[in-house]
Structure 1
Amino acid sequence: MLLARSALPDHVRLLLQSLIDARSCATLAERRWELLLRAARAARLLGVLAARVEAAVPSSDLPEVAQRQLAAGRIEARFRRQKVLHLLATIEPQLRTTGEKTVLLKGAAYIALGLPMAAGRLPADVDVMVPRRALDTLEQSLRAAGWEFEKNDPYDQHYYRAWSHELPPLQRAGQALELDVHHTILPPLGRLKPDTETLFADAVVVPGTPYHALCPPDQVLHAAAHLFQDSDCAGRLRDLVDIDALLRHFAAADADFWATLIERADRHRLARPLWYALAASHAWLDTPLPSEMVSWLAGRRPPYPMRSLLGMLVTRTLPPVDPDREPGLRDAISVKLLEARAAWLRMPPGLLAYHIANKAWRSRRPSGDASAAV
């Protein structure tokens, strides 16, 4: 599906190899370190790289410039981790008003559970999920506590409430992170519709907290769907790094993990994004796959034209841009095509056409005009 790692640009190969085997960083010349650090920063993986290098290489073996920048990456990651935990503690009273299970998603779950892939992450938001029936109660409680919607345009509000899988993003004075409140993991009008009741029913308790997290296979499926079903992939190599780390961790902890993952993928109708995630992670990050998963990949291949085109686009857009050149026309076209794909998967054709027309009309409005057709 994707180009082999050996065919990728030099800065991407260097970053991937350093993440796969941080011990290889011990022999890097200072010029290579400069390229690696720039690539890691562009990919928002500096903290992850710092955590892996710290665990594998004595700091005395690193050049001074690497020591300084990796230390800065670790400090920022620890700061953001504390911000996530503080936000979760802050909103706990509001979440209790719903009387429903609250499920942490993505980075918030990894941090609260203390999973290995939480080390070095640089979260910009906190994602929680509650049943749809609890949204009104939770919204009122959060608004009373000072949380405000980032997007107040009437059309944006309608878009999120009627067609999206989450409320508009929320912000609060004094909070460094954004809060995203979901009621499922993919847009409800999209092509793929996970079993939301099962997501909640099988969620696991986060020890020492009132929160839950998706069960391990569902965490992988959510990460795969978020990357390959509900985003444009641009610059999101960090999401693939998360998927690789989740797979390694959960497979090592549970001998039945792979069989359960296949079963859950079919139950949630997420086999296609899982296929892309496994193929990409194995190709670029050497994610170990057992024979049954290799057979599953061979038997569930998407049609060749589809996987070939998507592979080409993802190969061009997923990694960080080359720090020594400006993105070219082909890069821009690839991003636009993946944006179009994500929109197509999110909405039925008629609604998508209306949404595009509305966005075009709104883009021509005079600045400051908050009115919009709905």
Structure 2
Amino acid sequence: MNPSPLLLQLSTLLTEPQKIVLAQLDWQEIIHILRECGLLGCAFYVLNRNQLLEQVPTFAFKHLHSGKAYADRQKAQVHFESRIINDVLTQEGIQPIFLKGAGYALRGTLNSQGRVFSDIDALVSKEELKKAQQVLFNNGWCSKQLSEYDNKYYIQWAHELPPMHHSHRGTTIDLHHNIIPLVSGRAPKFSVLKNEIQIIDGYAVLSPHGMFLHSLVHLLINEDFKNGYRDMLDLYWMATEFEQQQQDFWQNLLQLATETSFAKELYLTLALLNMLFGKQFGRQIQPQLANKFDTKNNRFWIKKVYQYVLQPNHSKIGYSFKTYRHFAAYIKGHMAKMPIKILIPHLIHQSYVSLRDTLFGKHHFDKPENNMK
């Protein structure tokens, strides 16, 4: 694939902006894509770190600064909510591990600068799950009553509870007990994840290599690639930061990926980072990964599917067979999370619910929120 000129401009701007002449960029289209991808604030911080903001045209700077202000406000809210969640759970003897966006914000990683957040993800052991849920309910979080099918899905198959929303502040928390669905047969032991805990300012977050591994697992063992480009940039910025901070980062990452059986996903991720951004990360571990995972099948998924679905969804970054590639990634993601004997009935049920909601209205069948009181 030959990337479109606009995609090359965008990716260079967000990874190595010192290599381009900012005044010559198609800023009108770039601002549109950055906003659509939730990356306006990130672009502001990238340019600020490289002392290049003064070279940005005035109209574009205003958009970037607005995105930065919005992201900063969200990040402050994540810190506020995380402190409350951490306090109410630790008082009951439960130490939540903050994941993904919240984990980035609490660790203060480069990729948390300018990032926007949709919810707070926290991990507890399965044995602590019901108690943690009740504690949160007692402190203002509630969730919708589930259908019998959805209740079975979350209890027997999933790796998390249904989203809980705070009744007054409107914030959302996803409470996990693993990082991928149990029904996949690939969920790692909680003890392995617990061994990766580091305490930062009183909050439990994953180690740098644990954080990176969870990010790539969340991206590739998934059916939804709507935020795929942003997620790849998360990985790019984390790799750039963590390999400079820790000399043994890549070896630790390979060891953890091997222990959790996610070494193939690590191989795919490094190949995709090179393909999308032209950066060879983890050179010292690539030969070991390539010896095992450089197969015709994996090369097909990297070159024919993933590199396309992980691009921003924008009309000027177009490619043929878009629907086919997204559909292939959608099915593969579902199959990675569920065995086929469960997947097919599940997709049929989801299609039925989607059709029903389209015909009669999404909220017609909603049940009241559950506060467990």
Alignment-mate amino acid for residue 254 of structure 1:
Q
Aligned residues: 362
Alignment-mate amino acid for residue 166 of structure 1:
E
Counterpart for residue 220 of structure 1: 212
1:362 paired with 2:353, answer yes
| Partner SS, residue 86 of structure 2 | helix
Deviation at 1:130, TM superposition (A): 0.4
Q: Residues of 1 paired with 2:286 and 2:267: CA distance?
A: 10
Q: Residues of 2 paired with 1:259 and 1:59: CA distance?
A: 36
Counterpart for residue 196 of structure 1: 190
Counterpart for residue 342 of structure 1: 333
Alignment-mate amino acid for residue 134 of structure 1:
E
Does the CA-based 8 Å contact 1:272-1:302 persist in structure 2? Answer: no
Deviations 1:106-127 (A, max 9, x none): 1111111111221111111111
Alignment-mate amino acid for residue 359 of structure 1:
Q
Query: 1 or 2 for the larger relative contact order (CA 8 Å, sep ≥6)?
Result: 1
Counterpart for residue 86 of structure 2: 92
Does the CA-based 8 Å contact 1:224-1:243 persist in structure 2? Answer: yes
Does the CA-based 8 Å contact 1:190-1:347 persist in structure 2? Answer: yes
1:299 paired with 2:299, answer no
Deviates more, 1:188-197 or 1:283-292: 283-292
Counterpart for residue 253 of structure 1: 245
Does the CA-based 8 Å contact 1:94-1:138 persist in structure 2? Answer: no
Q: Residues of 2 paired with 1:241 and 1:9: CA distance?
A: 18
Q: Residues of 1 paired with 2:39 and 2:139: CA distance?
A: 33
Deviation at 1:298, TM superposition (A): 2.4
Does the CA-based 8 Å contact 1:105-1:129 persist in structure 2? Answer: yes
Show structure 2 runs of 5+ residues with no match. Answer: 368-373
Q: Residues of 2 paired with 1:100 and 1:321: CA distance?
A: 40
Q: Residues of 2 paired with 1:320 and 1:314: CA distance?
A: 12
Which of 323, 331, 345 is the equivalent residue of 2:322? Answer: 331
1:69-84 alignment to 2 at 5 Å?
69-84=63-78
Deviations 1:289-332 (A, max 9, x none): 3542231342132531343134312222111122458x788222
* Alpha-carbon spacing, 1:363–1:61, altered in 2? closer, same or farther (3 Å): closer
Q: Residues of 1 paired with 2:336 and 2:64: CA distance?
A: 39
* Alpha-carbon spacing, 1:142–1:116, altered in 2? closer, same or farther (3 Å): same
* Alpha-carbon spacing, 1:177–1:11, altered in 2? closer, same or farther (3 Å): farther
Identity, % of aligned positions: 22
1:27 paired with 2:18, answer no
| Partner SS, residue 179 of structure 1 | strand
| Partner SS, residue 28 of structure 1 | helix
RMSD between superposed Cα atoms in Å: 2.3
- TM superposition score normalised by structure 2: 0.89
Q: Residues of 2 paired with 1:202 and 1:32: CA distance?
A: 43
Show structure 1 runs of 5+ residues with no match. Answer: none
Deviation at 1:259, TM superposition (A): 1.3
- TM superposition score normalised by structure 1: 0.89
Does the CA-based 8 Å contact 2:98-2:121 persist in structure 1? Answer: yes
Counterpart for residue 157 of structure 2: 163
1:1-374 alignment to 2 at 5 Å?
3=1, 7-24=2-19, 26-29=21-24, 32-150=26-144, 152-206=146-200, 208-209=201-202, 211-324=203-316, 330-365=321-356, 366-367=360-361, 368-369=364-365
Does the CA-based 8 Å contact 2:156-2:183 persist in structure 1? Answer: no
Does the CA-based 8 Å contact 2:74-2:117 persist in structure 1? Answer: yes
* Alpha-carbon spacing, 1:216–1:108, altered in 2? closer, same or farther (3 Å): same
Alignment-mate amino acid for residue 142 of structure 2:
E
Deviates more, 1:288-297 or 1:231-240: 288-297
Does the CA-based 8 Å contact 1:151-1:169 persist in structure 2? Answer: no
Does the CA-based 8 Å contact 1:97-1:138 persist in structure 2? Answer: no
